[in-house]
Structure 1
Amino acid sequence: MSTKKVVIIYSGGMDSYTVLHLAKHEGYEVHAVSFNYGQRHSKELLYAEKVTRKFNIPHKIVDISSINQLIAGSSLTSNIDVPQGHYEEASMKQTVVPNRNMILLSLAVGYAVSIKAEAVYFGAHSGDHAIYPDCRTEFVSTMNEVCKIANYEAVEVRAPFLKSDKIEILARGLALNLDYNDTWTCYNGREKACGKCGACQERLEAFAGNNMTDPLEYE
């Protein structure tokens, strides 16, 4: 019997890295897709490429950066400084990219239909809920219903860590013996992680919560 296929929206960050390996661990044939949407931290795509090569996972990097003429205004894609401070602070709303997950999920679902995959996985988690509307339970639930009827072939949208925080996600990955040196989180795509943006702070809290030291180098 052939192995069931799934598509993973793989950013190269901690959450999608854990989701990728979780799906592999569950026995799925994993197909990774990464998107260049003009994010200033496009360095994460280099990490995604490295990991998929290392584990011989089929991987596509799709350039959709031209959509920035339509969805400007985020500090991740426009010439606006990335805010410092905790991940859940109101200032982090500057990092919201309009409609990003709906766009990425739509493209990934199209890919899933074309390769006869049963589901699309992505790495939304409970820590995202405060800032990102397209990571909330009601969005994922509704998108899942839409994607079951949008094509002749039903594709399920799965966010296995939707009710988990970053500490719990890291714990799950460590239990799978994953190497988080293979991930990039910082919203500033510089040589080393800044340690000050919300994404870095949440990552560092996750390692502290697991009594571990982050293997990444920080400025």
Structure 2
Amino acid sequence: MIECTHGGGFMKVAVLLSGGLDSSTCLALAVKEHGAENVLALNIQYGQKHQRELKSAEEISRHYGVTYKLLDLSQVFADCQCSLMQHSQEEIVHKSYAEQLKDLGGSGTVSTYVPFRNGLMLSAAAACAQGLGASEVWYGAHRDDAAGRAYPDCTPEFAAAMNTAIFEGTGREIRLRTPFMDMNKADIVKTGLELGVPYELTWSCYEGGAKPCGRCGTCIDRQEAFRRNGARDPLEAPERI
């Protein structure tokens, strides 16, 4: 399934947009640099437990007035038992990533790592981007996700290898850009606050309830990133501050 809800024509940049904090800030940066008319927001359904992020991605795309596409790649991950998957019986771990890495002896993939998800998504993004005449694919990988190889498809080594694959595989027409690779989540929030990103439209929680759980790894890291900037997460309940 491919759904294009608005926009069209030739693009300069394709941005992987999950609807979360990092990718939304990445989209805002791309719009600032290239203009909304030159940006494609690519959202991907991969069989995740909840649809809350998908809704956020569409709302953020509409906010910025960019072309939006939704791809369904869920069949590729049909055998994945990661706790994020709709068909998985595993519970979401309610610990920070630092605590999870400590449990793993300092290094290793966390339970919410979906095998090679970013590799597949970036490949799909490159194909869409080339069809629309774009020259770059952006994604919001950052230093915190790469730490301890918790998410190996967010590491600098992975990004460099994918950049080479995309560049060569598209006839040297498209490059991969990772503007946050040397930044942590607090740095990204700082950038987003300066850009005026509507963080109230974003969604990070792995539980997908009516409100963020505040206890999963991504909720904990998100809240800490706002605190380090002396700001309040618009999605955080007052009693959790």
Correspondences of 1:123-162 after superposition (within 5 Å): 123-130=140-147, 131-162=150-181
Distance 1:177 1:189 in 2: 24
Three-state SS of the structure 2 residue aligned to 1:26 is helix
Distance 2:74 2:89 in 1: 14
- Structure 2 residue aligned with 1:53: 62
Which one of 81, 91, 115 corresponds to residue 98 of structure 1? 115
- Structure 1 residue aligned with 2:199: 180
Offset at residue 73 of structure 1 (A)? 1.8
Distance 1:4 1:74 in 2: 34
- Structure 2 residue aligned with 1:43: 52
Q: Deviations over 1:128-180 (max 9, x none)?
A: 01200000000001110111111225210111001100000000011112221
Moved over 4 A (4+): none
Give the % identical residues: 38
Offset at residue 185 of structure 1 (A)? 0.4
Distance 1:7 1:178 in 2: 18
Three-state SS of the structure 1 residue aligned to 2:34 is coil
Does residue 1:76 correspond to 2:53, yes or no?
no
Which one of 189, 193, 215 corresponds to residue 212 of structure 2? 193
Counterpart AA for 1:185: S
Distance 1:176 1:56 in 2: 15
Counterpart AA for 1:25: K
Offset at residue 113 of structure 1 (A)? 0.8
Three-state SS of the structure 2 residue aligned to 1:95 is coil
TM-score (norm 2): 0.85
Distance 1:217 1:168 in 2: 19
- Structure 2 residue aligned with 1:115: 132
Q: Deviations over 1:74-112 (max 9, x none)?
A: 111122101011123236711110110100000000001
- Structure 2 residue aligned with 1:15: 22
Q: CA RMSD in A?
A: 1.6
Offset at residue 202 of structure 1 (A)? 0.2
Three-state SS of the structure 2 residue aligned to 1:184 is coil
TM-score (norm 1): 0.94
Distance 2:51 2:143 in 1: 24
Three-state SS of the structure 1 residue aligned to 2:119 is helix
- Structure 2: 5+ residue stretches without partners: 1-9, 104-108
Distance 1:38 1:168 in 2: 30
Distance 2:50 2:154 in 1: 19
- Structure 1: 5+ residue stretches without partners: none
Q: Is the 8 A contact 1:41 1:186 kept in 2?
A: no
Q: How many positions carry a matched residue from both structures? A: 216
Counterpart AA for 1:184: W
Counterpart AA for 2:23: S
